[in-house]
């Protein structure tokens, strides 16, 4: 906004000072730009003004009544006072009225010390109350789900939280109920709030009405040290403050970064730091002796790894492979790539651990093909197999803002997305039949007439049975409409791993090839860092046979993951909030990480581990330059169509809240993830005798898993959706890599001791 020259300017007087602002500026904004402080509660600069709280009243010459500065447009020659006796009296009255029902329980309120109501009562308030009647009395606090607590007595009905859900997130999570004196914000019948962005409402609440259940009573703002860093969950790379006290991260907050996350975070980011301080972090190296992993010193462990690497080198080059990268920093990734390419001498490295061999993911580089800001300026968005609020939530906020400015959203998916209400068109079909829908989009009037069309191709599309065809259809669509094709694939620092060389080199194998090679005995040693292939590889048997075919497995891990449990050497690694460095987000932007806390025990940064190993192999490494490898997007012709399609297929989908190794150790997120479940269409459920919330066994020709069933038309007939990311439920065991969709049978499981129907 600031970059645009004002077409016409107006000059007004505020408190005796002449201020020139672009036409259309409000008096509040004009005052703020000149450093004049006007108190506000309901106004928030990311939302249109409302004028509900009346705190910003100012006196304007020639206007008979006091005016709300947040809604009043500045005009030429306007003379405004923010300090006249009438304004002062109004400010005192407003605060006196707001405080009538406010409990003034600041000493036990989490907001104390960072509370606009407290600050303004101190600065502008009357210092006394004439109200002698009983105050409003509510049970407190009201729990609205695992992370949000509502104290209705403290609420001043500014509507910020309600409007955030309507305007910014588009999820309408919180609303006003009842009327007049009985008005309150909340959810229908105080049900758990349904939102992926509710942490933001806690952040923008100007009083202590909305507080975080994971942070309540943990600290005061003056006790915590905020560390500026970056969230590393989904790949958007939101800027955060990590609030640290006593060596522990107690709270995560959004840090304003207009080009990435603006002022927002998703709840995975807000409540996702607990794993760092989890009690089951690995603190010493572990070495397998007599079949069991046992504690060892760093020297023992590193000597053993170095010895195995040397022994492999003696047998010939390229007999070592590396998998992982998603949870590494750029520096770690660069050190790993350098170590394996130059010191070990192998081209077999890949971070794309969850990519199948026959999808479209291995042929293209992952990430956006424009900046987030450019994407936000689009006028047509096509989401193909991309469940944006489950995969890249804060990216959705940008698209939502574009829709509000007139852009159109078209969804092509195998699932009814929660944002479907905002879509102009929704094209649904079973997972294995999506490609024709994309091809047909070229004839869609909105898409064809779009000037800035952005197509986001997601994992579900690329790795599905028709992945290569979908990629080709999407590619020809953007060529026809002169749009941009984004590969919405990858999480964490996959984008840094890709950029800094954790990809197959000349003659190197990709991740599926490495696994198949390992199974066939092509490698002496498999090395894993920043990944948990045992749960991530989408063909459960591929990992099992790779593990048994390789002589020696080395794993860097923060927890005793399934991969670590199968390892010969486990080296305890720091997690990203414990490291200085950088990560790369999905648009390719480099973002800073700052070590917020120290790691546990003897855990070390991955990069340091690689350096120590290199030194043992006789190479001392510096890190001035990183190998930059930018793979070129290649679009391969589609594989021949698969055979007959089964009547019920299983699709492994993504979910924001899961019980993986990080989120599964964070209070609040565990409850949000809930139990592992599958989504089955009512028609299929009726046929299989499956009831909502009952346990079912999903049986494929390879394996079976037991999960809870949710009967829902979010999925389509003929297709069962099951979520990955619940480490206790090995959904990837259900399928094998294959270009054909995986058939599944779903059977109800009688509860133990239950009646037999």
Partner 1 sequence: MTEAAREEIRRLAGLYEHRQSALIPALFVAQQEAGYLSPAVLESVAEVLELPVTEVTSVASFYGLFYLEPVGRHMVHVCTNLSCMLNGCQRLLSRMQEVMGIQPGETTPDGRFSLRAAECLGACEEAPAVLVDEDRWAAVSPEGVEPMLERYR
The count of chain residues that interact with partner 1, using the rule CB under 8 A, is 14
Q: What residues form DSSP beta bridges with 383?
A: 411, 456
Does the CA dihedral 252-255-261-264 come out positive or negative? positive
Long-range contacts of range 712-716, CB-CB < 8 Å, 24 or more positions apart? 712/679, 712/680, 712/681, 712/682, 713/416, 713/681, 713/682, 714/415, 714/416, 714/679, 715/414, 715/415, 715/416, 715/679, 715/680, 715/681, 716/414, 716/415, 716/428, 716/429, 716/430, 716/681
**Least distance in angstroms from the C-beta of 166 to partner 1:** 8
**Least distance in angstroms from the C-beta of 405 to partner 1:** 17
In the bound state with partner 1, the residue whose beta carbon lies nearer, of 37 and 172, is 172
3-state secondary structure of 676: coil
Q: Which tokens belong to 678?
A: 């599958």
Check whether the bond before 141 is cis (ω within 30° of 0): yes
In the bound state with partner 1, the residue whose beta carbon lies nearer, of 176 and 258, is 176
**Least distance in angstroms from the C-beta of 621 to partner 1:** 55
Residues in 84-103 that interact with partner 1 by CB under 8 A: none
Phi/psi for 523 (5° steps) reads -125, 145
Residue 177 found at the interface with partner 1 (CB under 8 A): yes
Query: Which residues touch 365 (CB under 8 Å, ≥6 apart)?
Result: 487, 498, 630, 631, 632, 633
Instruction: Write the DSSP symbol of residue 665.
Output: G
Are residues 91 and 123 in contact, defined by beta-carbon separation less than 8 angstroms? Answer: no
Per-residue 3-state assignment (H helix, E strand, C coil) for 84-147:
CHHHHHHHHHHHHHHHHCCCCCHHHCCCCCCCHHHHHHHHHCCCCCCCCCCCCCCCCCEECCCC
Residue appearing with tokens 């709270």: 251
**Least distance in angstroms from the C-beta of 658 to partner 1:** 25
**Least distance in angstroms from the C-beta of 421 to partner 1:** 6
x/- letters, 377..416, toward partner 1 (CB under 8 A): ----------------------------------------
Q: Which tokens belong to 99?
A: 């405080």
Nearest CA among 615, 592, 687 for reference residue 241: 592
Q: Which tokens belong to 297?
A: 């010193």
**Least distance in angstroms from the C-beta of 178 to partner 1:** 5
- Which stretch in 141-149, 152-160, 183-191, 480-488 sits in contact with partner 1 by CB under 8 A? 183-191
In the bound state with partner 1, the residue whose beta carbon lies nearer, of 174 and 231, is 174
Interface with partner 1 (CB under 8 A), residue from 187, 214, 230, 330: 187
Nearest CA among 323, 277, 373, 348 for reference residue 585: 373
Interface with partner 1 (CB under 8 A), residue from 216, 421, 594, 667: 421
The C-alpha atoms of residue 755 and residue 289 are separated, in whole angstroms, by: 48
Residues in 661-690 that interact with partner 1 by CB under 8 A: none
**Least distance in angstroms from the C-beta of 229 to partner 1:** 34
Interface with partner 1 (CB under 8 A), residue from 35, 127, 188, 247: 188
In the bound state with partner 1, the residue whose beta carbon lies nearer, of 187 and 659, is 187
**Least distance in angstroms from the C-beta of 410 to partner 1:** 17
Interface with partner 1 (CB under 8 A), residue from 179, 315, 598, 628: 179
**Least distance in angstroms from the C-beta of 183 to partner 1:** 9
Residues in 137-176 that interact with partner 1 by CB under 8 A: 165, 171-176
Residue 189 found at the interface with partner 1 (CB under 8 A): yes
In the bound state with partner 1, the residue whose beta carbon lies nearer, of 416 and 621, is 416
**Least distance in angstroms from the C-beta of 175 to partner 1:** 4
In the bound state with partner 1, the residue whose beta carbon lies nearer, of 426 and 562, is 426
- Rounding to the nearest 10 degrees, give the CA dihedral for residues 533, 609, 242, 218: 90
- Which stretch in 42-50, 185-193, 274-282, 425-433 sits in contact with partner 1 by CB under 8 A? 185-193
In the bound state with partner 1, the residue whose beta carbon lies nearer, of 35 and 180, is 180
In the bound state with partner 1, the residue whose beta carbon lies nearer, of 171 and 387, is 171
- Which stretch in 184-192, 253-261, 498-506, 592-600 sits in contact with partner 1 by CB under 8 A? 184-192
Instruction: Write the DSSP symbol of residue 495.
Output: H
The CA distances from residue 515 to 326, 361, 541, in Å, are: 17, 16, 10
In the bound state with partner 1, the residue whose beta carbon lies nearer, of 148 and 497, is 148
In the bound state with partner 1, the residue whose beta carbon lies nearer, of 422 and 491, is 422
- Which stretch in 40-48, 187-195, 436-444, 548-556 sits in contact with partner 1 by CB under 8 A? 187-195
Residues in 560-589 that interact with partner 1 by CB under 8 A: none
In the bound state with partner 1, the residue whose beta carbon lies nearer, of 180 and 618, is 180
**Least distance in angstroms from the C-beta of 393 to partner 1:** 18
Nearest CA among 705, 708, 696 for reference residue 733: 705
Residue 601 found at the interface with partner 1 (CB under 8 A): no
**Least distance in angstroms from the C-beta of 145 to partner 1:** 13
Phi/psi for 219 (5° steps) reads -165, 165
Residue 181 found at the interface with partner 1 (CB under 8 A): no
DSSP codes joined into one string, 583-640? EE-TTS-EEEE---SPPSTT-B-HHHHHHHHHHHTT-----SS-----PPP--PPPPP
In the bound state with partner 1, the residue whose beta carbon lies nearer, of 172 and 701, is 172
The C-alpha atoms of residue 180 and residue 184 are separated, in whole angstroms, by: 9
Interface residues toward partner 1, by CB under 8 A: 165, 171-179, 187-189, 421
């Amino acid at each position: 906004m600031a970059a645009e020259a004002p077409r016409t300017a107006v000059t007004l007087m505020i408190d005796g000072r002449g201020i020139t602002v672009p036409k259309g500026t409000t008096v509040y904004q004009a005052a703020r730009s000149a450093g004049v402080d006007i108190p506000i509660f309901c106004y928030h600069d990311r939302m249109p003004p409302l004028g509900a709280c009346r705190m910003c009243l100012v006196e304007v010459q020639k206007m008979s009544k006091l005016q709300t500065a947040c809604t009043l447009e500045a005009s030429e020659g306007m003379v405004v006072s923010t300090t006249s006796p009438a304004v002062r009296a109004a400010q005192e009255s407003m605060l006196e009225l707001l405080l009538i029902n406010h409990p003034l329980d600041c000493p036990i309120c989490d907001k104390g010390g960072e509370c606009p109501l407290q600050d303004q009562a101190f600065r502008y308030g009357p210092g006394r109350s004439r109200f002698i009647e009983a105050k409003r009395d509510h049970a407190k606090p009201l729990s609205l789900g695992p992370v949000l607590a509502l104290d209705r007595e403290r609420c001043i009905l500014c509507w910020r939280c309600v409007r955030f859900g309507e305007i910014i997130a588009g999820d309408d999570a919180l609303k006003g109920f009842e009327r007049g004196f009985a008005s309150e914000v909340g959810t229908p019948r105080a049900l758990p709030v349904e939102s992926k962005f509710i942490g933001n409402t806690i952040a923008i609440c100007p009083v202590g009405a909305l507080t975080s259940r994971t942070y309540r009573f943990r600290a005061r703002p003056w006790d915590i040290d905020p560390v500026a860093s970056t969230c590393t969950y989904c790949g958007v790379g939101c800027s955060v403050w990590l609030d640290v006290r006593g060596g522990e991260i107690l709270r995560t907050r959004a840090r304003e970064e207009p080009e990435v996350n603006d002022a927002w975070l998703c709840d995975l980011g807000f409540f996702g730091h607990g794993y760092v301080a989890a009690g089951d972090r690995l603190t010493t190296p572990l070495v397998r002796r007599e079949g069991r992993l046992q504690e060892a010193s760093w020297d023992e462990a590193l000597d053993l790894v170095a010895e195995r690497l040397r022994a492999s080198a003696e047998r010939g080059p390229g007999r070592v492979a590396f998998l992982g990268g998603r949870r590494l920093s750029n520096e770690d990734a660069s050190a790993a790539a350098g170590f394996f390419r130059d010191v070990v001498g192998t081209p077999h490295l890949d971070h794309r651990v969850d990519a199948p061999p026959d999808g479209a993911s291995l042929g293209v580089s992952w990430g956006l093909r424009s900046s987030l800001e450019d994407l936000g300026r689009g006028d047509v968005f096509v989401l193909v197999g991309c469940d944006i609020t489950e995969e890249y939530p804060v990216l959705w906020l940008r698209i939502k803002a574009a829709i509000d400015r007139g852009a159109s959203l078209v969804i092509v998916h195998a699932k009814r997305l929660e944002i479907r209400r905002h879509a102009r068109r929704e094209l649904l079909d079973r997972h294995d039949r999506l490609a024709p829908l994309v091809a047909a989009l070229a004839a869609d009037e909105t898409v064809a007439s779009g000037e800035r069309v952005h197509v986001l191709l997601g994992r579900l599309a690329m790795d599905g049975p028709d992945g290569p065809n979908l990629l080709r259809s999407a590619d020809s669509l953007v060529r026809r409409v002169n749009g941009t094709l984004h590969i919405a694939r990858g999480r964490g620092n996959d984008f840094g791993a890709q950029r800094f060389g954790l990809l197959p080199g000349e003659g190197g194998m990709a991740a599926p090839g490495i696994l198949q090679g390992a199974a066939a005995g092509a490698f002496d040693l498999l090395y894993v860092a920043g990944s948990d292939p045992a749960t991530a590889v989408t063909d459960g048997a591929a990992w099992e046979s790779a593990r048994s075919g390789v002589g020696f497995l080395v794993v860097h891990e923060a927890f005793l993951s399934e991969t670590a449990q199968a390892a010969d050497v486990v080296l305890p690694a720091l997690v990203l909030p414990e490291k200085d460095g950088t990560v790369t987000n999905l648009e390719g932007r480099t973002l800073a990480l700052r070590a917020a806390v120290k790691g546990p025990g003897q855990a070390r940064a991955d990069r340091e581990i690689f350096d120590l190993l290199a030194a043992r192999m006789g190479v001392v490494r510096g890190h001035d330059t990183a190998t930059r490898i930018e793979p070129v997007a290649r679009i391969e012709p589609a594989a021949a169509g698969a055979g007959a399609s089964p009547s019920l297929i299983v699709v492994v989908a993504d979910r924001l809240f899961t019980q993986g190794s990080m989120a599964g150790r964070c209070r609040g997120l565990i409850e949000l993830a809930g139990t592992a479940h599958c989504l089955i269409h009512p028609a299929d459920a009726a046929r299989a005798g499956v009831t909502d919330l009952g346990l079912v066994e999903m049986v494929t020709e390879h394996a079976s898993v037991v999960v809870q069933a949710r009967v829902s038309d979010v999925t389509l007939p003929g297709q069962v959706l099951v979520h990955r990311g619940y480490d206790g439920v090995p959904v990837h065991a259900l399928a094998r890599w294959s270009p054909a969709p995986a058939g599944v049978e779903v059977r109800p499981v009688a509860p133990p001791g239950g009646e037999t129907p």
